[in-house]
């Protein structure tokens, strides 16, 4: 799975003129399931996201995770948005190929599992709308933008 994290002061997703997800300080998580991904890759990705220390402590050092923010007096939110275009391959020309992305049904299943796990692990989780035309508004704090990739597990023949 692929994710791009943006540390935000606020983020919002609008679909057809209606806000479907919004957070204050926290992480905007753009996420893409790739062919071969399973729930295990989603679990690893979520664990990394929740523990990544990219928020400032009292001394201004990046030393707190989104979960640690609670101890600093603020509960950090997660706004999770599906974005299959993270799987874009532009090596062959100027028109991106998205063949590495999971098929839509499988992508939705893995996205839903990812969100479900996030809601079990974190108190503030909001989402976009899978496969919708979304307008995403954010204030990137820092700016801090981190790409993450958990490749599909490869079966080994013994």
74 phi and psi, to 5 degrees? -135, 135
Give the count of domains, the chain.
1
Identify the active-site residue in 55, 67, 84, 114.
Answer: 84
In a domain, 145, yes or no: yes
The stretch 123-136 carries a mean pLDDT of 97
pLDDT of 62-121, one tens digit each? 999 999 875 555 678 999 999 999 999 999 889 999 999 999 999 999 999 999 999 999
Q: Is the pTM of this model over 0.75?
A: yes
Domain assignment present for residue 83? The answer is yes
- Please report, for the domain that includes residue 45, its CATH number: 3.50.80.10
Q: Is 85 a catalytic residue?
A: yes
Confirm whether 156 is domain-assigned: no
Q: Which of 19, 35, 85, 145 is catalytic?
A: 85
**pLDDT band at 140; cut points 50, 70, 90:** very high
Q: Find the domain containing 51 and state its range.
A: 2-149
Other beta carbons within 10 angstroms of residue 110's beta carbon come to 22
| pLDDT recorded at residue 35 | 95
Query: Is 99 one of the catalytic residues?
Result: no
Residue 84 lies in a domain: yes
HSE (CB half, 13 Å, CA atoms) of 149?
6
Q: Which residue is catalytic, options 83, 114, 117, 127?
A: 83
In a domain, 158, yes or no: no
- Taking phi first (over 0 means left), then psi (-120 to 50 degrees means alpha), and beta for anything else, what does residue 109 get? alpha
């Amino acid at each position: 799975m692929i994710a791009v994290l943006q540390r935000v002061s606020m983020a919002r997703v609008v679909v057809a003129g209606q806000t479907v997800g919004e957070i204050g300080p926290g992480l905007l998580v753009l996420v893409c399931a790739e062919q071969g991904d399973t729930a295990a890759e989603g679990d690893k990705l979520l664990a990394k996201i929740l523990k990544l220390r990219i928020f400032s402590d009292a001394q201004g050092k990046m030393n707190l995770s989104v979960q640690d923010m609670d101890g600093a007096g603020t509960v950090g939110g997660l706004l999770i948005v599906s974005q299959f275009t993270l799987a874009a391959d532009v090596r062959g020309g100027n028109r991106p190929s998205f063949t590495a992305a999971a098929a839509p049904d499988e992508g939705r299943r893995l996205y839903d599992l990812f969100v479900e796990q996030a809601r079990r692990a974190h108190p503030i989780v909001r989402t976009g709308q899978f496969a919708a035309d979304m307008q995403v508004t954010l204030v990137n704090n820092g700016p801090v933008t981190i790409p993450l990739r958990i490749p599909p597990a490869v079966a080994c023949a013994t």
